[in-house]
Structure 1
């Protein structure tokens, strides 16, 4: 039961090829797009895959979701004889009972139906040849030691438009990417490091380095400071020192050494004040809390996550800076939730470092950061982008859309160096910026109220 709380398309067919080289990109753009965007706002939410969050969207038939796929897993994907009879349905809960495993080894099971894929073979072959995307239910059943198919199916069940009216309204009014992959097939902080620096410097889990300004690589925050481009990392941590996750700018040694931790990391309340006053910096980066009530990360209710993104959108939309702003909303990783599209393999890593961990079976796996993670929901919001656009391209433009696409776009916007090979490879999206701004009445100033259900 649900209770109220308060076109252009570019259809592409997944080819299954490994990632194409960036020099094959053929995107056409106009010459003055940089003059239109003065402010970029990035909000990175937590732990939802494209299919489970957007798989039920039906406003455009080209959306590659679950309405045209009978997506099923089995309880034991390692047994090829076991029938895939646990199928995704529009049954996802407001509060997920279980938080799916999203370690790199756990994601291996979800994508390959084994914790130990042959990495040399995988990265030399089409993604579809090895990534069957059929192990999400198996990993869920293993992680929670359950034989209850309904409980394990929560990892692949999806939401309907009635469940996510805030997100759906934003998608229908702006640009939805349905082929945007997270940067790492693993957990939060390695993905957030890729989002903000183009590499995780060999970190494949949420280890202590992220909490103590421990990463040595150059970040987008350092780059912007060098170019005298203003930035603030607004964050909504309510867990206190030493608990929860640091805001992403606080991952880096430079942030502490430069004093930017004191001058450029501010509470979320300041974001709303700055937006209303038209004083947002050129680059706004927003961390939600993590991971209890508004980040979408289980056990955060979807309804409270919707309330949070509604507030961010309305602050941006009604700011005096709206007409010069590009707002990017994405999710850091799939969080162990299911998706039917195999992620690209054989992609450039951020560096030459590898990561090793012990899988559930007690054997080690080593990962070289040369595969992307599953698709995540991503929106491009601005009066300078089209209405109801579905951006669903394959690899024929060069790289793929992934988290480092944001860094590549910023490098083009502000003349920054490409931080890593992954950044340089990633598709950018300036071709989606319109020649003429949409009229003020062509996008909602207020969004629907979120809903809650059981």
Structure 2
């Protein structure tokens, strides 16, 4: 795609918008039917930065659950966080969970880095001088208390959001401005993912791999390791991420795989995060138009990873990281409804697929998950876990002295399959590496690290039907409308921040580009085009 064509596409409104009655329990281990053949194709859609409670906490009301069923949400519970900020005049001492309706909240983005997650989990800032510092300037122990409380108290989300807001906005937020970190969407706000969560299976105990942000959690999903890193920035060092990935294992075993991404992102995040392990497989990376063609024609490979649009007009559901909006009705790039549309498009394409010999709706497992909780409130403490290595294969010390012995928080995860009954609630302790564990069990692949090797749970236990459901039993999803127009100049003149900037600077480093860093989104587009050309990357 030529530059002028790309910018023309970016400026079009199409770029944003186009793209049973019973509650069956999961089968007990001894009752599990041979499930490994109930799927021939796995499609994973990994969205961005939402906690389980934030997206699905209100999915079931207590009265909806029959005897014996359990759903660990927020409805009917007295869940709140304290407000104890010195030198402020707030007239409340706590904020409770409440149903959120503003689809761009939390705005601005909460803290996502490892030290901020420690504050959210334990309500501690250690040393106290970390309070108003950027993460790069924070000191050990990076807000982690000693001895470590277990389980975590989960009562620092509000205080961390207040301090984070003050750091970047230069003032303390009002109560209305900070209470939004406790907001959780009801099913009416997010009807697509809610319909699928009730129409198939919802996992209420699926956690991300690291109590931190995007790069490390996407790396753990792909490689069961983040090469010792926990924060996105400085992103250039991620070029040193040499952990072998699941895609290398699949390639070695001649198991077909592909990564699909949006043409507007120019370069896929998966390739950038694992460049030196995946650069020989550029032919495995395809645009989303190819995904929809492959679904329609029954040509999906055994494993597919789908990236949402993560840079401009993004539909990844990431909260706004460009600073607070002055108009909450602005149909901007951080609106959850854009992600709802993407989920709808992917699900509907799979539902309508009916190839007699290739991939189709009866032999495809769709996994909808999120990379990390992104600072959004969740009430369930993370778990202790296994570090990826006995002796790390890298020479640098683990970032922020983290030993990788704790998981991240719960993230929304929904499983769609013809062999899963309606209203299935999965309480099993899954983690991002459960996906590769499932692949390794199905195909006899070697482990990546200790994390996936010692992960006891695969997805093969979630299939609770002997006979596949017919298409007419699959729910019809109805995304809420989202105005695709908005202020187009916003995307050209707005300054780069957060995930977008980190990803672009990683690409810049990989290509060895010199000169000033990009400032505006238009600068970022130009730089990614330069990187693609400099590295000689041509996608199929």
TM-score class, shorter = 0.7 to 0.9
Q: 1:50 aligns with which of 42, 52, 58?
A: 52
The Cα shift of 1:441 comes to: 3.8
Instruction: Tell me how many residue pairs correspond in the alignment.
Output: 407
Take 1:210 and 1:401, find their aligned partners in 2: how far apart are those partners? 31
State the partner residue of 2:375: 336
Matched, 1:94 2:103: yes
SS in structure 1 at match of 2:215: helix
Distance 1:419 1:247, change over 3 A: same
State the partner residue of 2:387: 349
| Contact 1:74-1:135 within 8 A present in 2 as well | yes
Matched, 1:247 2:249: no
Q: Name the stretch that deviates more: 169-178 or 314-323.
A: 314-323
The Cα shift of 1:311 comes to: 0.4
State the partner residue of 2:319: 298
Take 1:222 and 1:77, find their aligned partners in 2: how far apart are those partners? 49
State the partner residue of 1:265: 285
Which of 1 and 2 has higher RCO (CA within 8 Å, sep 6+)? 1
Matched, 1:310 2:344: yes
Alignment TM-score, normalising by the size of structure 1:
0.83
| Contact 1:384-1:434 within 8 A present in 2 as well | yes
The Cα shift of 1:268 comes to: 1.1
State the partner residue of 1:289: 309
Take 1:147 and 1:433, find their aligned partners in 2: how far apart are those partners? 46
| Contact 2:119-2:144 within 8 A present in 1 as well | no
Ranges in structure 1 where 5+ consecutive residues have no aligned partner:
12-25, 358-365, 394-399
Instruction: Kindly report which structure 2 residues correspond to 1:387-398, keeping only aligned pairs within 5 A, or say none.
Output: 387-393=422-428
Q: 1:276 aligns with which of 284, 296, 307?
A: 296
Take 2:42 and 2:398, find their aligned partners in 1: how far apart are those partners? 32
Distance 1:445 1:211, change over 3 A: farther
State the partner residue of 1:20: none
Matched, 1:439 2:478: no
Take 1:83 and 1:383, find their aligned partners in 2: how far apart are those partners? 49
Take 1:118 and 1:100, find their aligned partners in 2: how far apart are those partners? 18
State the partner residue of 1:19: none
Take 2:380 and 2:436, find their aligned partners in 1: how far apart are those partners? 24
Distance 1:348 1:379, change over 3 A: same
SS in structure 1 at match of 2:367: strand
Q: Which structure's CA Rg is the greater one?
A: 2
Take 2:236 and 2:36, find their aligned partners in 1: how far apart are those partners? 33
| Contact 2:82-2:158 within 8 A present in 1 as well | yes
Ranges in structure 2 where 5+ consecutive residues have no aligned partner:
1-16, 127-142, 167-171, 321-333, 355-359, 484-540
Take 1:413 and 1:78, find their aligned partners in 2: how far apart are those partners? 55
Q: In angstroms, what is the RMSD of aligned CA positions?
A: 2.7
Q: 2:185 aligns with which of 159, 170, 173?
A: 159
The Cα shift of 1:68 comes to: 2.2
State the partner residue of 1:379: 414
SS in structure 2 at match of 1:343: coil
| Contact 1:51-1:65 within 8 A present in 2 as well | yes
The Cα shift of 1:256 comes to: 4.2
Judging by fraction of residues, say which structure has more strand. 1
| Contact 2:24-2:421 within 8 A present in 1 as well | no
SS in structure 1 at match of 2:349: helix
| Contact 2:55-2:184 within 8 A present in 1 as well | yes
The Cα shift of 1:253 comes to: 4.2
Matched, 1:410 2:434: no
Q: 2:77 aligns with which of 63, 69, 80?
A: 69
Take 2:108 and 2:459, find their aligned partners in 1: how far apart are those partners? 35
Q: 1:421 aligns with which of 440, 450, 453?
A: 450
